[in-house]
Structures are given as structure tokens and as C-alpha cells.
């Protein structure tokens, strides 16, 4: 769940980036001005208002020592350009049940808030929305170019050669962007681009009979690559407005 200052709520009810069908799809909805005020009041009346913190249960007197793997609810709030993080243990995963633990009130309050955020339709009063849920429309994408050099011929897909594609890039495709931090040191590259850039990319691919949907959070197309004696992966992934990336933003490449 992501909530932005102007009242946009982006909700992924499947907990993974997937847009296949209704279940698990990333959807967006907007709060009215009154709804924004209502939501801010809910947060102001929660432990989140106290700032960065970690709330954890401790074993009750006479209970066995704490031997669990810690699972937490994690909240991140951006205030004046600074991200404030609040972590809280998950009550339902406490070994032995809540009676075996001393649970701070803040942890219980954040457990309730987490449940509310997981069910926005049941939490936010109906008259505080300004519209209905709709599929999320991404405006930022991560573009990843991954060369697969020296791939055996039988492993090369039946797709156009990467160097014959009318790419909307300046220069060769395997030089787009910059080396991906933490990626394959042999040449994996990445760049952050806007929706219009990906539309141009998809149009270039469509002209050669290859499909790239902007409505799918992850799309990976693989091309033969004679120059690299292998194949070339061209992948796009949605980036939410608040989602950081170590890859630079496109300028001269497009």
C-alpha cells in the first residue's frame, strides 16, 4: 500500500507486482480533500506520529526465551524529503500466542493500522473517495538491458536480431544507460525512463512483431544477438512514484 500527498492510494492486494486478472492487480484510487484530512487524522492519532521507532514484544515473566524469527510490519513516511521508518512486530506470529508476551500498546495500535491498510474499502468511509478503483497507470519504468554473450545457437529465441530493431535509442542498445549497480559485471545496464519513452520502445518492437504491454508490471523480451554471439534481454518494470532506483534517469539516450 502506498499513499501519496495528493490523496492517491496505490494498492496491491496480492502483495506482489502483478496485473494478471483482478486478484493481485495493482489498483489506484483517489481520496477527496475531506478524505485526505480524515486519513491524516488517522495517522496523527497513531504511533506513526512519534517518528522513527521499533516496537517489539518481549517474553512475559516465566515464558521461554525469545527464539522466533522476527517478522515486522514496516511503515515508511516521507516528511520534508526525509523518510521516517517505523517497524513493529507482527502480533499474530508471536510464538505461544499474545499471552506469552508483553506487548506494547504501540505495537497493538500498529497491528490494527496494518489490518486497516490491507482493507481500504472496509476502512475508509465510502463518501471520502473521489472515484472508483482503476488499474494503476505507471509513469516511471526501469529499463534493463542484459547481454547474454556466447549463448549456444539453440538457446537463441526465434525473434529479430537485436541490432536489426529500430530502437528509439541514441547509440547501440547494449550501451544504453549505465552499468547496473549489483548487476552482471559483463554488461547488464539500466536506466529509469518515463511512460512516453516506453511507449516509443513498445512501438518500435510492435513494428517488428514483438509485443510489450505497458499494463504489465514486468515485461521481458529476448532477442537474438549475432554481434554478441548470443542473445539480448530487454526488460521493463514499473517504478512507483516513491520507489528509488540506483539507475540514472534517462536524458541523452532518448
**pLDDT at residue 191, rounded to an integer:** 92
Residue 222 DSSP SS3: strand
Confidence of residue 13 (pLDDT cuts 50, 70, 90): low
Sheet of 2-3, strands arranged across: 2-3, 8-12, 26-30, 134-135
DSSP 236: E
DSSP 251: S
Which range of 42-51, 170-179, 216-225 scores highest in mean pLDDT? It is 42-51
The answer to whether residue 184 scores a pLDDT higher than 70 is no
Residues 56-83, buried b or exposed e (16+ Cβ, 10 A)?
bbebeeeeeeeeeeeebbebeeeeeeee
The answer to whether residue 65 scores a pLDDT higher than 90 is no
- Domain residue spans of the chain: 2-135, 140-239
* CA 180 to chain CA centroid, nearest Å: 18
Angstrom distances, CA of residue 26 to CA of 129, 210, 219? 18, 25, 15
Angstrom distances, CA of residue 60 to CA of 94, 101, 171, 208? 12, 4, 64, 66
Confidence of residue 24 (pLDDT cuts 50, 70, 90): low
User: Over the stretch 190-214, which tens digit does the pLDDT of each residue have?
Assistant: 999 999 999 999 999 999 999 999 9
Spatial neighbors of 3 by CB under 8 A, at least 6 apart, are: 9, 10, 39
* CA 45 to chain CA centroid, nearest Å: 27
**pLDDT at residue 17, rounded to an integer:** 46
**pLDDT at residue 254, rounded to an integer:** 56
DSSP 31: B
What span, in angstroms and rounded, lies between the C-alpha atoms of 124 and 7?
A: 12
Contact 102, 60 (CB under 8 A): yes
User: Over the stretch 80-92, which tens digit does the pLDDT of each residue have?
Assistant: 788 999 999 998 8
User: Over the stretch 105-156, which tens digit does the pLDDT of each residue have?
Assistant: 999 999 999 999 999 999 999 999 999 999 999 999 999 999 988 876 566 6
Q: Region 3-20: what's the mean pLDDT?
A: 72
Concatenated DSSP letters of 156-211: S-SS-BGGGS--SSSS-GGGSSEEPTTS-TTT-EEEEEEHHHHHHHHHHHHTTT--
Give the chain's radius of gyration (CA, Å). 23
User: Over the stretch 159-176, which tens digit does the pLDDT of each residue have?
Assistant: 789 999 999 988 888 888
Side-chain half-sphere CA neighbours of 83 within 13 A: 7
**pLDDT at residue 149, rounded to an integer:** 83
The answer to whether residue 37 scores a pLDDT higher than 90 is yes
**pLDDT at residue 38, rounded to an integer:** 97
Amino acid at each position: 500500500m502506498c499513499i501519496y500527498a495528493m490523496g492517491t492510494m496505490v494498492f496491491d492486494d496480492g502483495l506482489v507486482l502483478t496485473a494478471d486478472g483482478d486478484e493481485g492487480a495493482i489498483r489506484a484510487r483517489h481520496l477527496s480533500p475531506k478524505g485526505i484530512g480524515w486519513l491524516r487524522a488517522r495517522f496523527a492519532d497513531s504511533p506513526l506520529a512519534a517518528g522513527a521507532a521499533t516496537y517489539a514484544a518481549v517474553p512475559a515473566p516465566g515464558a521461554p526465551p525469545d527464539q522466533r524469527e522476527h517478522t515486522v510490519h514496516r511503515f515508511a513516511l516521507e516528511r520534508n524529503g526525509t523518510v521516517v521508518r517505523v517497524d513493529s512486530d507482527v502480533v499474530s506470529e508471536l510464538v505461544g500466542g499474545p499471552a506469552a508476551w508483553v506487548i506494547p500498546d504501540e505495537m497493538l495500535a500498529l497491528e490494527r493500522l496494518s489490518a486497516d491498510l490491507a482493507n481500504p474499502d472496509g476502512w475508509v468511509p465510502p463518501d471520502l473517495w473521489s472515484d472508483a478503483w482503476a488499474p494503476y497507470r505507471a509513469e516511471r519504468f526501469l529499463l534493463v538491458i542484459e547481454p547474454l554473450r556466447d549463448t549456444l545457437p539453440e538457446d537463441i529465441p526465434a525473434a529479430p536480431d537485436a541490432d536489426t530493431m529500430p530502437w528509439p535509442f541514441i547509440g547501440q542498445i547494449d550501451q544504453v544507460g549505465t552499468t547496473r549497480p549489483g548487476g552482471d559485471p559483463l554488461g547488464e545496464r539500466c536506466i529509469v525512463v518515463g511512460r512516453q519513452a516506453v511507449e516509443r520502445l513498445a512501438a518500435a518492437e510492435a513494428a517488428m512483431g514483438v509485443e510489450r504491454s505497458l499494463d504489465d508490471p514486468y515485461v521481458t523480451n529476448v532477442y537474438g544477438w549475432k554481434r554478441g554471439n548470443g542473445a539480448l534481454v530487454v526488460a521493463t518494470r514499473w517504478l512507483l512514484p516513491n520507489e528509488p532506483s540506483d539507475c540514472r534517469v534517462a536524458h541523452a539516450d532518448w
